[in-house]
Every structure is written in structure tokens, then in C-alpha cells.
């Protein structure tokens, strides 16, 4: 791939990820859901070296249906545990393309911090994102997003929102 094509690809992927986390911060759940393929998964492992979400307990492991249920709960007026709704700010950096399979799939790694403020209590979550993206016309869709917290084995302040 030519250097100019690589730079354009890098820029487009960064913009996609920045837009994705902005949707989370702005509580645009439907828009965020639309970024996933039908089979798309969101996964937050419970340990740094967790090999998969199928044979091990995870902090979060959601397919399309479970993400939809959680997002509907976020919007429900009777979700007392979410009153007031947490405010978040996601910061993403070090976006690196790990693998281009020559086809439609692109593996990307990035670092993140998520600051959450809820009921006068601040919390900070940090870690890495691993994305499996698939090309979709002029943009991408998420086949899998893995959010690995640096302290995933430790005591976590319970967050009701997505890392």
C-alpha cells in the first residue's frame, strides 16, 4: 500500500473511532448500535490474559440483542439506578492498524481513558481497545470491540455505561 493510501486509511479509521466514542458520550445509543455488524460483539474481559469470552467470565460480553437491551434500559425513564445518568468523556489515542488481511477486515488497537461522573462521584477507567473492523462502503462496521481495562482484575467502581 502506498504511503499516501496508508495515511488516508489511518486518518479514516481514527475518525471512525473518535466518532464512535463521541456517540457514547452523547448518549446516542441507536447511532452507536448501528456501527456494529449484525454479528458484532462488545467484550470487556475480566483479566488481562483472558483468551476468549466463551469459556471465561467477562465484565461485559454482549451481542446485538444484549446491547439493544442495555441501550433501551439507558433510555427508560424508570431506570432508577441510572438517575441521574452518568456523564462520560472518552479520550482515545495511539490508534494503530495492526493487520490488514488484504480483504475487508482491519484489526486496530488504541488506548483509552474514560472519565465518568455520577452522583457526585468521579471514576476513571483506562485500557486498550482492540477492534475488528470490516469495510462498509466508504466507512467501517465493528465486528468486535474488546475493551481491556488496565485494572480489570481489581475492584472496579461499578459503571453502568460502556467503556
Are the C-beta atoms of residues 7 and 85 closer than 8 Å to each other?
no
User: Is 129 domain-assigned?
Assistant: yes
User: Is 157 domain-assigned?
Assistant: no
Percent of the chain with pLDDT strictly greater than 70: 96
Residue 73 confidence class, pLDDT cut points 50, 70, 90: confident
Among 144, 150, 143, 142, CA closest to 19:
142
The string of pLDDT tens digits covering residues 24-38 is 999 999 999 999 999
Residue 157 confidence class, pLDDT cut points 50, 70, 90: low
Strand order in the sheet with 139-149: 58-62, 36-45, 139-149, 121-136, 105-118, 87-100
**CATH number, domain at 65?**
3.10.450.50
Q: How many domains does the chain have?
A: 1
The string of pLDDT tens digits covering residues 111-128 is 999 999 988 888 899 999
Amino acid at each position: 500500500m502506498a504511503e499516501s493510501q496508508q495515511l488516508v486509511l489511518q486518518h479514516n479509521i481514527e475518525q471512525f473511532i473518535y466518532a464512535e466514542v463521541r456517540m457514547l458520550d452523547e448518549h446516542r445509543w441507536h447511532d452507536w448500535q448501528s456501527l456494529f455488524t449484525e454479528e458484532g460483539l462488545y467484550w470487556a474481559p475480566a483479566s488481562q490474559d483472558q483468551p476468549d469470552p466463551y469459556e471465561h467470565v467477562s465484565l461485559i460480553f454482549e451481542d446485538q440483542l444484549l446491547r439493544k437491551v442495555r441501550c433501551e434500559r439507558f433510555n427508560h425513564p424508570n431506570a432508577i439506578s441510572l438517575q441521574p445518568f452518568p456523564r462520560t468523556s472518552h479520550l482515545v489515542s495511539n490508534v494503530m492498524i495492526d493487520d490488514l488481511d488484504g480483504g475487508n477486515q482491519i484489526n486496530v488497537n488504541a488506548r483509552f481513558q474514560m472519565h465518568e461522573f455520577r452522583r457526585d462521584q468521579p471514576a476513571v477507567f483506562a485500557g486498550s481497545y482492540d477492534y475488528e473492523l470490516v469495510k462498509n462502503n466508504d466507512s467501517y462496521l465493528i465486528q468486535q470491540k474488546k475493551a481491556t481495562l488496565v485494572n480489570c482484575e481489581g475492584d472496579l467502581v461499578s459503571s453502568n455505561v460502556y467503556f
